[in-house]
Amino acid sequence: MSKYWTPLASSLEPYVPGEQPKDKTYIKLNTNENPYPPSPKALEAMKEAANADLRLYPDPTCEELVQAAANYYGLSPKQTFAGNGSDELLAFAFAAFFDPARPVLFPDITYSFYKVYAKLCGITPKLIPLDEQFQVPIDQFAGDHGGMILPNPNAPTAILIPLDQVRKLLEANPDRVVIIDEAYIDFGGESAVKLVPEYPNLLVIQTLSKSRSLAGLRVGLAFGSEELIDGLNRIKNSFNSYTMDRLALRGAVAALQDEAYFQETTAKVVATRDGIIASLKELGFIVTDSKANFLLISHPSYSAADLFKQLREQGILVRYFNSPRIDNYLRVTVGTDEEMAQFLKVLKRLIGA
């Protein structure tokens, strides 16, 4: 606490990002980064963009990137928005669309940043419990509320909500904005972007951080009806008109245009994931049906908190959340085949298998 802080600053409970340790080299399976490098074409585009034009401000409308993202999904640029990481887009969307006079709905087990944005925007969350199998109870996302947000696949459960269920959410809540956070959709899900022309209350948020290996660049995209995109622009231009720098704009366009590389690297992550799921089940682990680039795992006979510590000592970082219902689970990012082989080897030793 500080006497210089506003009541708002004092009241916040900031998000704690997964660690990026510098003490030694770990096999890093803790922040859902992609194990493969970004598209070589994206790197090349950024090198070219590192030129004298950096003395000039970037394009505040991010026109080239918005057009590329719109083309990718067959939408209009008026239905498309780009920003500095999807975390920034989420903050804008909370401020633009969620009514502070009513509770905003999200699952009890979900991306922990949502609570933080809610607090920042003076919004009261209403947590809807996932069922015993961590499935989203779609019918309970209804009633008198100020809007809702769900990641799809959910994090950290990795479980996908099928598109017909997303459609149900949109139809049951026509007067409220439904945000679908698709940070992991490219690893086996069907995107709700194709529903944008049908549902004016749908906002889909995506990121280049996971499936396009660009977490370090900070690029997020949003897709929705023209009125929702206008709403995001109102908040953005009341906060920071130049959210995206020249290098990020060029790199993101080149990444979106390199479809072959994107398909190849996401397919590799999916293949590795499906292999490791089978191996973990053989060791007696409970593993959710992951459609993301990470796994949520638990062993009936071993404490997740202990395994987390022991893995760390052995040079393998995973994520442990000391939160209700998932405090005996580990979230494990899917790395390369070599990294996952090492993870399995250490894990087998730890559980004496």
Nearest residue (CB) to ligand PLP, 82 versus 123: 82
Strand order in the sheet with 80-83: 80-83, 220-224, 202-207, 178-181, 148-151, 104-107, 125-128
The answer to whether residue 209 forms part of the interface with ligand PLP (CB under 6 A) is yes
Residue 152 near ligand PLP by CB under 6 A: no
Binding of ligand PLP at residue 85 (CB under 6 A)? yes
Name the residue nearer to ligand PLP (CB basis): 85 or 189: 85
For ligand PLP, the closer of residues 302 and 329 by Cβ is: 329
CA distance 353 to 340: 16
User: CA nearest 204: which of 160, 133, 152, 270?
Assistant: 152
Residues in contact with ligand PLP, counted by CB under 6 A, come to a total of 13
**Cα–Cα distance, 30 to 190 (Å, whole number):** 25
Binder among 38, 77, 188, 220 for ligand PLP (CB under 6 A): 220
Q: Is 86 an interacting residue with respect to ligand PLP (CB under 6 A)? A: yes
Q: Which stretch binds ligand PLP (CB under 6 A): 14-22, 83-91, 161-169, 274-282?
A: 83-91
With CA atoms as reference, report the closest residue to 170 among 152, 189, 188.
152
Residue number with CB closer to ligand PLP (38 or 151): 151
151 is a site residue for ligand PLP (CB under 6 A)? yes
Backbone phi and psi for residue 275, each to the nearest 5 degrees, phi listed first: -65, -45
Rounded CA gap, 26 and 33, in Å? 13
Residue number, 69 or 347, with CB nearest to ligand PLP: 69
Q: Which of residues 233-272 bind ligand PLP (CB under 6 A)?
A: none
Q: What are phi and psi of 71, to 5 degrees?
A: -60, -40
Footprint on residues 32-71 left by ligand PLP (CB under 6 A): 32
Closest CA to 344 of 289, 282, 290, 300: 282
For residues 69 and 138, give the distance between their C-alpha atoms in angstroms, rounded to a whole number.
Answer: 29
Residue length, the chain?
Answer: 353
x-or-dash pattern for ligand PLP, window 303-342, by CB under 6 A?
A: ----------------------------------------
Closest to ligand PLP by CB, 138 or 155: 155
Interface residues with ligand PLP (CB under 6 A) are 32, 85-87, 111, 151, 155, 181, 183, 207, 209, 215, 220
